[in-house]
A and B are shown apart, each in its own frame.
Chain A
Amino acid sequence: MLERNPYIGGATVSRELHSGWTYSNCSYVCSLLRPEIARDLELPRHGLQVVPYGGGVTFKQDGDHFGNYYDHERQYREMARHSVRDANAYERYTADVMKQTRLIRPFLLRRPPDPTSLKWRDLRDLAEFAGAFTAMGEEGLADTLKFWTKSVGDYLCEYFESDVIKAHLAGSGIIGTALGVFSPGTAYVLLHHYMGDVDGNVGSWGFARGGMGAVAGALARSFQSFGGEIICDADVDQIIVNNGRTRGVALKNGTEYRADIVVSNLDPKRTFLDVMDAADLPADVVHRAENFKIRGSSGKLNIALDGLPTFTGLDKRSPLMLGDMHFSDSLERLERAYDDWKDGTWSQDPYLDMLIPSQADPTMAPPGKHMMTVFVQYAPPRIRGREWTDEDKAGFEKSVLDQIARYSPDFKDLILHCETRTPRELEAEVGLTEGNIFQGELTFDQLLFNRPFPGYAQYRGPVKGMYLCGSGTHPGGGVMAAPGANAAREILRDLRLPDIVPGGYADD
């Protein structure tokens, strides 16, 4: 395994940028990581511990807030404080979203069938897929199709009347996505964030103890325990192709590694446009890679705090402090934040997904001190067509800090250090093209059998011996480990070796 950076993990990384503090610099919470893989690779034995955090809060501009409690009954009472009807409708909503979650989960650890293919394996998989759909019944199926084509805003309006409840729930429909809450297709993105689980609790999220780098660390140790070798500071220049098949890779420093099989964990754009030679590829692949949509939509702040900040109207001992915090209390504010992205600038009133993991994880900050992770949406890959400048970055940072400070009077005084990452930094440091956290947008033209491109969705590249295993393949990003596992299964199959990659757990 060759890694360009001096450290492994990619976007699943913990780094100490301020002495004594550990940052989950990119990804920051964990839910989608397939339990089947975590168990099979013995990640817990190799040091991974995922602690569920549960809950969240959206602060309102009027000083109140909506708390999303982990406990069902308490959540009911809190929702009822905002709308009794919504509190009750949430039970129907949960059941309806669970129907969709159950439909999609079994297909996460499967390669997507190619609907244009007439091969037996594709037809069989397609029939199974169709079977899962028809098992939902005529109305259930129509509801499913509606769900996949609807905006998260419209979908939530079918259940709820309270602005703050809709806004709180809508966040999952846009995270990491260059779409607004009223863009059709975002209800599916919501699903993408609901289909994970912690210990079988579908939809819940947790912290990796030690930061998200702990996931990468455990994976690395597992890999090494089976004899794998990791070489850091190895910047791949080119995948070597000879007579239509891969022969290995060449690094920028001239070193070459010979292998019959080369697997790229880079996004499709980097894979086909940077480390491969257009002459080695079919023209349509180059064309498709050029058109692959990978616009970044988010940035990130990691902040070292001298103490736990005070939030207006919220007790510091409240369980809500442990959850994800947001400051967008209406769908309209979320949509306007997206309008800024479309205009080619960062949101003046951004959507934040903010957590303070050091309240649950003692390894993140010195005792009594805290580490805050702030995911920020929206931030475009370029500012009105030009590159980000340091002034832009400062402006972006200010819009975020100011928003938090409006709800937390002592917040700014507690800041000891702040790492700000716009799409520019995400691309430069992690190699996420245009700063897209999913290695490719989660729109339908890039999902399932279309991910990354029609005809290449089964992890095999256009060149013999070359494979893709990154989030740019089905089922996409979010520290899920499924693309890698699915790719491994296809490679083993091509090598005529037994399939040792676990399938998904049955009915949830």
Chain B
Amino acid sequence: MNSTSDDTMLLTTPFHSRVSRACELNAWGSWKGYTTPKAYTDVELEYFAIRSTTGVFDLTPMNKYRITGPDAGPFLNRLVTRNVDKLGIGRVGYTVWCDDAGQVMDDGTIFHLGENDYRLCAYARATDWLFWSALGFDVNIEDETAAVAALAVQGPTSCAALTAMGLEGLADLKPFGLAEYDFEGETLMVSRTGFTGDLGYELWITPRLAETLWDRLFEAGAPYLIKPFGSDALEIARIEAGFLQAGVDFVPAEEAVRNGRTRSPFELGLDWLVDLDKPLFNGRQALLREREQGSRYRFVLLDVDGNKPAHNSFIMKGRRKVGTVTSAAWCPTAKSNVAFAQVELPHGAVGEELVAEIYYQRELHWTRVLAPCRVIEAPVFNPPRRRATPALPF
């Protein structure tokens, strides 16, 4: 017995000493049981750090599972909708995974670290599902959430800042690529990944060196105008970039209580992640049937007239309610008013004109707006620098 239940208070990440010093607003939230800042200084300024200089986000609470063993590859291939065989060593892939009914349980990223060695990053805790999925495979699964400290370093000067910290040659790392550096005698893993839709990297290191990494990063990054950002700023950035959030834009399949409230990858606009040519994966048979018989919903990006975010709005076609908004934000860089919505098919084709029923209040006065909106094909923010290799200095 090495701990008692009295030790189960809210956790802090290995960066906490630095994060709490920087968190001038004392605006804290809980992310998967970790104390995390909603904002450090000012949400707007933090957002613009991501879009104009470099923003840093403490990613440690993200659920991380290390998957090793001779069957690691086949195991993942059965688990997720993408073809993991096509993911080379040193590459990262975004994917979703489904239950047998083809309903999305979660989305996340797979890091191919080495031969028979992978890391799965997931929004929701997945131990239970991974356990059941592992039966019949020679595979070892370890929850390394607390064993790996992680920072997201995102923004146009992020490559420059990290290079200044000593990560030579980082500019040549391709999107979704992995590189390893020596850092104080330990391995610092860097992936060109992120949740902001901009040039950006994620850093992975042992918790022991977390504070050192933070200090060196902010020291080296100072000339590149580096700044920490909290979850509020991230929310704007990810909507602008068109990224889904589990638990917000869809209900993880096994958490749903009401029949019919879950969504398939097709219904979330993630067809490109589903490889039906793969002989076997969870949800394949159901998804094949859905392909034949048709889906119920379509996930759409909406460009909404006006500047009032369409939070929680009904989406109307004429007088009929055809959908609901799951995420919405005014996007400061793209200067557009974006909403994610799930609409009933056949609605939601690109270009279709719909109406968002928006309620907002100013000084206790509520206004109802019927804002015209249209279905757009691609996220409103998608700069070439996101993909440019070698990465640009700013």
Report A's interface with B, CB cutoff 8 A.
Answer: 57, 62-67, 69, 73-74, 76-78, 81, 84-85, 87-89, 91-92, 95, 98-99, 102, 135-137, 139-140, 313-315, 318, 320
Contact = CB atoms under 8 A, between A and B. Distances in A.
Contacts of A84: 127, 143
B135 interface: no
B257 A73 contact: no
B127 A85 contact: yes
A301 B172 CA distance: 74
Interface stretch (B3-11, B276-284, B381-389): B3-11
B257 to A, nearest CB: 5
Contacts of B296: none
Interface in B350-382: none
B33 interface: yes
Given A91-B255, A95-B254, A62 B1 contact: yes
Contact of B127 (A63, A88, A98): A88
Nearest to B259: A137
B8 A136 contact: no
A89 B128 contact: yes
Interface in B281-332: none
Chain B interface mostly helix, strand, loop or mixed? Answer: loop
B272 interface: no
Given A63-B1, A81-B3, A69 B8 contact: yes
Q: Which 7 residue pairs across A and B have the least CB separation, nearest first?
A: A67-B5, A73-B33, A88-B127, A77-B8, A89-B128, A88-B128, A88-B125
7 contacts: A67-B5, A74-B8, A76-B33, A77-B8, A89-B127, A92-B255, A320-B5
B145 to A, nearest CB: 10
Contacts of B131: 85
B10 A74 contact: yes
A95 B254 CA distance: 7
A85 B5 CA distance: 17
B126 interface: yes
A310 B77 CA distance: 53
Given A73-B30, A95-B257, A65 B5 contact: yes
Q: Output the residue of B8, B126, B254 with the most chain A CB within 10 A.
A: B8
B256 interface: yes
Given A73-B33, A95-B254, A64 B8 contact: no
A140 B259 contact: yes
A81 B3 CA distance: 8
Given A95-B257, A102-B257, A318-B5, A77 B33 contact: yes
Contacts of A314: 4-6
Interface in B143-166: 143
B208 interface: no
Interface residues of B, number: 26
B335 interface: no
B259 A318 contact: no
B259 A135 contact: yes
A65 B3 CA distance: 10
A57 B1 CA distance: 17
B18 interface: no
Contacts of B9: 74
Contacts of A95: 254-257
Contacts of B126: 88
Contacts of B216: none
Contacts of A88: 125-128
B182 to A, nearest CB: 32
A88 to B, nearest CB: 4
Nearest to A77: B8
Nearest to A64: B1
A96 to B, nearest CB: 8
A256 B316 CA distance: 68
B18 to A, nearest CB: 23
Contact of B6 (A91, A139, A318): A318
A76 B5 CA distance: 11
A91 B251 CA distance: 13
Contacts of A85: 127-128, 131
A77 B259 CA distance: 29
Given A81-B8, A84-B143, A92 B1 contact: no
A78 B259 contact: no
Interface string B122-135: 00011110010000
Contacts of A76: 33, 125
A315 to B, nearest CB: 5
A98 B259 contact: no
Contact of B125 (A57, A62, A81, A91): A91
A73 B35 CA distance: 11
A390 to B, nearest CB: 40
Nearest to A159: B128
A307 to B, nearest CB: 21
B6 A315 contact: yes
Contacts of A91: 125, 128, 254-255
